[in-house]
């Protein structure tokens, strides 16, 4: 077993999960702050030089686990590891945010998709060498194609 403790908390405009954009075309434009606890402030040195960061966080208000579920972006069930569902064996979230600036131990960011007060476990620079043409969207891409075809028929 292992224990983790938050390195900080999110200050976001969302207080309920229904406020967070979901589904096809969802745009995560919300701005807010990641407040790092004082003992970890030194770990932020040079972070503002990156345009984007991975933020690893806890679905601290999710309850239970569902190995299969129907996401809001499809009408078919998918395995939890093929979705962004909060009902996971280990309720860990991952978000890429844009860095807007740093004020001491506070990071101003854009692209939040978590609730106000969410515990942050870690932050890492976003570095990706995968070209867009090599990325596959799996079931999500298929669901968008079905939705587009259905919209075209109607």
Go through 5-43 and write b for each residue having 16 or more CB atoms within 10 A of its CB, e for each that does not.
ebbbbbbbebeeeeebeeeeeeebebebbbbbeeebeee
Q: Does 1 fall in a domain? A: no
Q: Does 122 fall in a domain? A: yes
pLDDT of residue 24: 63
For residue 67, which of 92, 93, 89 has the smallest C-alpha distance?
A: 89
pLDDT of residue 129: 77
- Cα→Cα distances 78→17, 41, 52, 89, 143, Å: 20, 39, 29, 15, 11
Q: Does 143 fall in a domain? A: yes
Q: What is the mean pLDDT of residues 120-133?
A: 88
The pLDDT tens digits of the residues spanning 136-151 come to 778 877 887 887 787 7
Strands 31-36, 52-58: pairing kind:
unpaired
Return left, alpha or beta for 30; rule: phi > 0 is left, psi -120 to 50 is alpha, else beta. Answer: beta
Q: Does 2 fall in a domain? A: no
DSSP string for 68-109: EE--TT-SS-EEGGGS--S--SS-EEEEEEEEEEEETTEEEE
Total structural domains within the chain: 1
The pLDDT tens digits of the residues spanning 63-109 come to 999 999 998 888 899 999 998 889 999 999 999 999 999 999 999 99
Q: Does 97 fall in a domain? A: yes
Q: Does 3 fall in a domain? A: no
Q: What global pTM score does this model have? A: 0.84
Q: Does 37 fall in a domain? A: yes
The pLDDT tens digits of the residues spanning 14-45 come to 999 889 888 667 788 999 999 999 999 999 99
Domain encompassing residue 55: 8-153
Name residue 108's beta-bridge partners.
33, 101
For residue 56, which of 108, 114, 103 has the smallest C-alpha distance?
A: 114
| Lowest pLDDT segment from 1-15, 58-72, 110-124, 125-139 | 125-139
> The domain that contains 25 carries what CATH number?
2.40.30.70
Q: Does 47 fall in a domain? A: yes
**Hunting for tokens 């606890």 — which residue is that?**
37
């Amino acid at each position: 077993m292992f224990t983790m403790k938050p390195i900080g908390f999110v200050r976001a405009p969302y207080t309920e999960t229904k406020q967070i954009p979901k589904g096809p075309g969802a745009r995560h434009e919300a701005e807010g702050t990641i407040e790092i606890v004082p003992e970890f402030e030194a770990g932020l040195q040079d972070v503002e030089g990156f345009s984007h960061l991975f933020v690893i966080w806890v679905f601290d208000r999710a309850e239970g686990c569902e190995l299969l579920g129907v996401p809001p972006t499809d009408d078919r069930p998918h395995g939890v590891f093929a979705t962004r569902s909060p009902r996971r064996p280990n309720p860990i979230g991952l978000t890429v945010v844009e860095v807007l600036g740093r004020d001491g131990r506070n990071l101003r960011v854009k692209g939040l998709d978590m609730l106000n007060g969410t515990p942050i476990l870690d932050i890492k620079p976003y570095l990706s060498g995968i070209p867009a043409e090599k990325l596959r969207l799996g079931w999500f891409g298929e669901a968008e194609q079905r939705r587009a075809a259905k919209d075209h028929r109607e």
